[in-house]
Structure formats: structure tokens, C-alpha cells
Amino acid sequence: MVKIGYLGPRGTFTKLAVDTAFNGEGKQSFTTIPECIDAVQNDQIDIGVVPLENAIEGTVQLTVDYLVHQVRLPIVAEIVVPIQQHLLVASHFSGDLSQVTDVHSHSHAIAQCHQFLHKYMPDAMLNFTSSTGKAAEIVSGSEETVAAIGNKLAASEYGLTIYQENIHDYPNNHTRFAVLAKDADTVRINQVKESEKTSLLITLPSDYAGALHQVLAAFAWRKMNLSKIESRPMKTGLGNYFFIVDVNQPYDDVLFPGVKAELETLGCGVTILGTYPVHQMQV
């Protein structure tokens, strides 16, 4: 049986993504993203599913940084899930939002609902949890007037009431999840692939005028379409960055080696983080 790990506990968006993408048993929950990635690396599980980017709040930096600096595992698939954030309360809640003292949720979920919180619950204390499922668990065990931000699955798993639906600040909300595995053949995703992508990690030799322009030019003149470029600190000092570049096509033996050779001549480092199918989920 293929073992699939995810950011848990019960009722997280990652669990929702895993349940939608994969059939059957063998699903195992981890408390943090690094624990889940480590479990794939140590062969405790075959597949790890971790959040990568949200349409409102952007990159899940912990995932990217852990994959770049700590454990290099290939991305073998991407699953894209619609995200609906709800305000969840326990049955003893009086119904008056101004009485809520604390809101619990994952930092990314809270960030997706800042305007709602600012407008309707400006005095509530914001408490960051390891996941939205954990936040729901805390609220279900509390006697206080507290609330969680999370999904429908969390409401049913923890016996909470959805006080208000769809409190995320912008409507077209989705999160991309990375599927990590040492052996891509173990991954069987239920829904059809929509497209294919390749993610590259690029480092620059030193800071000089036009360096990034030269990097982008290597893709541009080959007519390779980029869907994302992100810079993150190298963690070696201010001003040192690496770039993650997502290219909207699968790896091939001509264009990608060409880009790599051209960039290496400029002194750049180029590593393929994965070439993978993208699956859009209907939940």
C-alpha cells in the first residue's frame, strides 16, 4: 500500500486535497510541513503533500525554503484546490461576533481573511496555529468564546458550526499543493491533468547590472512561457537571493539543457526541482 503523508491533523485543506486527489487508505497526518517532507526523505512514507502557494497570500515560504535549503525532493505533481474559508464556532457561541476574544488559524488562512477580521472582529486576538485543522480542534475543546478559520471538513470533523461562509477577502481563491515523492511512479492522481510544468532553482553568481534580464532572456528567445518567478533570500546575507522559475511546459532534452548551459556560462547555478503534471481539483 502506498503511504501518503499530509499536513494535518484532520480537517485541513491539505487533507481535503489528498482526499480529492488520492483514493483509499494509507494516509498519514503530520503536524508540520518539515515533518511531512522529512518523512518522505526517510522513506517513512512514499508521497508527501504540502501547500505551495495560495492565490491571495502567495507562496508558502516554509515549503519552498525547506525544499531548497534542507531536503531536496522532486515535485512530481501539483494539485490545485479551490479554497473557501469559513468562520467556525462551537455550539455554545452566543451569536455576537463582538464577543469573540480569540480567532485561531494557520497564518496563511488568517492572511486570506484580513479584511473580514478588520471589519467585523477588530478586537479579537489572532492566534496562529500549525494548520486550520489544529485551529478547529482548539476551538472544539474550548469553553471560551473563540472562533477558528477553516473549511467545511473541519466543521464536520470537530463538530463546529459554520457561523459565516466564505470570509476570504477575494473570491477566486485557490491553493497549489506540491506532491513530493522519490518515485513518481507511485503517484496515481484521480483527476485528469490540465497541463505540465517544470520548476527550476536558479542562483546568480553575483549582483551585477542586467543579471536577471540575462536569465529571463534565455527563456524568452526560446519562447518558453514562465508562469511564476519568485525570489527568496539565500540566507547568506542581505542582497543574496535565489529564484524559483516555473515554466509552462514539461522538461525536454533540447530547450532545458540549452537554458541550463547558457545560464551556467554566465555563472548561474541551475537545478531542476521537478517536471510534473498539474491537476485542477473539484471539491
Q: Catalog residues that contact ligand PRE under the rule CB under 6 A.
A: 7, 12-14, 51, 54, 60, 83, 106, 108-109, 131-133, 175
Query: DSSP class of residue 67?
Result: I
Name the residue nearer to ligand PRE (CB basis): 60 or 204. 60
Minimum gap (Å) between residue 35 Cβ and ligand PRE: 13
Minimum gap (Å) between residue 34 Cβ and ligand PRE: 13
Minimum gap (Å) between residue 230 Cβ and ligand PRE: 15
User: Among the residues of 83-210, which ranges form H helices?
Assistant: 107-112, 114-120, 132-140, 152-158
Minimum gap (Å) between residue 2 Cβ and ligand PRE: 20
User: Among the residues of 9-105, which ranges form H helices?
Assistant: 13-21, 33-41, 61-65
Ramachandran class of 210: left when φ > 0, alpha when ψ lies in -120 to 50, beta otherwise: left
Name the residue nearer to ligand PRE (CB basis): 14 or 145. 14
Cell of residue 174, nine digits = 485557490
Minimum gap (Å) between residue 52 Cβ and ligand PRE: 8
Name the residue nearer to ligand PRE (CB basis): 14 or 275. 14
Name the residue nearer to ligand PRE (CB basis): 34 or 258. 34
Minimum gap (Å) between residue 63 Cβ and ligand PRE: 8
Name the residue nearer to ligand PRE (CB basis): 89 or 270. 89
Minimum gap (Å) between residue 251 Cβ and ligand PRE: 27
Residue that is written with C-alpha cell 488562512 in the block: 109
Asked if 112 and 129 touch (Cβ cutoff 8 Å), the reply is no
Name the residue nearer to ligand PRE (CB basis): 6 or 256. 6
Name the residue nearer to ligand PRE (CB basis): 15 or 260. 15
Asked if 103 and 158 touch (Cβ cutoff 8 Å), the reply is no
Helix (H) or strand (E) holding 217: helix 211-220
Minimum gap (Å) between residue 80 Cβ and ligand PRE: 11
Q: Strands of the chain (E only): list them.
A: 4-7, 27-30, 47-54, 58-59, 75-82, 86-89, 102-106, 125-129, 146-150, 161-164, 174-181, 193-203, 226-233, 241-247, 269-280
3-state secondary structure 123-138: CCEEEEECCHHHHHHH
Dihedral sign of CA atoms 138, 139, 140, 144 in order: positive
Name the residue nearer to ligand PRE (CB basis): 7 or 263. 7
Burial of residue 159 (CB within 10 Å: 0-12, 13-18, 19+) is: exposed
